[in-house]
Amino acid sequence: MVSINGLTARERTHPPIEGDCIVQISVTVNGTTHDSDVEPRTLLVHYVREQLGLTGTNVGCDTSSCGACTLHLNGEAVKSCTVLAVQADGQQVATIESLEVDGVMHPMQTAFMENHGLQCGYCTPGMVMASISLLNENPNPSEDQVRLGLEGNLCRCTGYHNIVKSVLACASAAAVSGSK
């Protein structure tokens, strides 16, 4: 966690307001259980980025349209800008940081790399997490099913062709082992 003067970025920019309701939550993120105090209005994406320092998950549109903030809640892709941290209390969260294990990338990350499935990279964490969730639900999708399945993720480099290629390549390479 990034800490300056003992305060996280969020604590510096959003100091708790006196009298606000504070809720204790216990969330397992990437296999580690965190006991945290949050305001009920804290969004899950801000919780993982600013309280836990896991900045791989991006904020894009902040209106549940673009999918840049996609992570897994109990193994399924969700848009973490539209989930409250308190809704993840007692649940399992996995972010893009969970995918690499001992220096070895997840097969979906490898597929994105090999198929030039990213350009500027901003949408990539969300794309990868959404793609893994898609293959968990449908291990052998058609190209149309991949395009429809990723309708909730926008790439403003418009690099969709290679993103779809990456997902299809990952699907045909091997069954995805799923998020950790």
With respect to another protein, which residue has the nearer C-beta, 114 or 143? 143
54 vs 173: CA distance, rounded Å: 29
Rule CB under 8 A: say whether 159 interacts with another protein.
Answer: no
Among 30, 58, 70, 98, binds another protein (CB under 8 A): 70
Binding mask 37-56 for another protein (x = CB under 8 A): --xxx-x--x----------
Q: b vs e for 121-136, b when ≥16 Cβ sit within 10 Å of the residue's Cβ?
A: ebbbbbbbbbbbbbbb
| 115 sits near another protein (criterion: CB under 8 A) | no
Question: Which 3 state secondary structure label does DSSP give 124?
Answer: helix
Is residue 83 within the footprint of another protein (CB under 8 A)?
A: yes
Burial code of 9-39, b = ≥16 C-beta within 10 A, e = fewer?
A: bbeeeeeeeeeeeeeebebebbeeeeebebb
Binding mask 116-155 for another protein (x = CB under 8 A): --------------x--xx--x----------xx-xxx--
The answer to whether 31 contacts another protein (rule: CB under 8 A) is: no
Count residues contacting another protein (CB under 8 A)?
37
- The residue ranges that bind another protein (CB under 8 A) are 14, 17, 20-21, 23, 39-41, 43, 46, 62-65, 67, 70, 73, 76-79, 81-84, 86-87, 89, 130, 133-134, 137, 148-149, 151-153
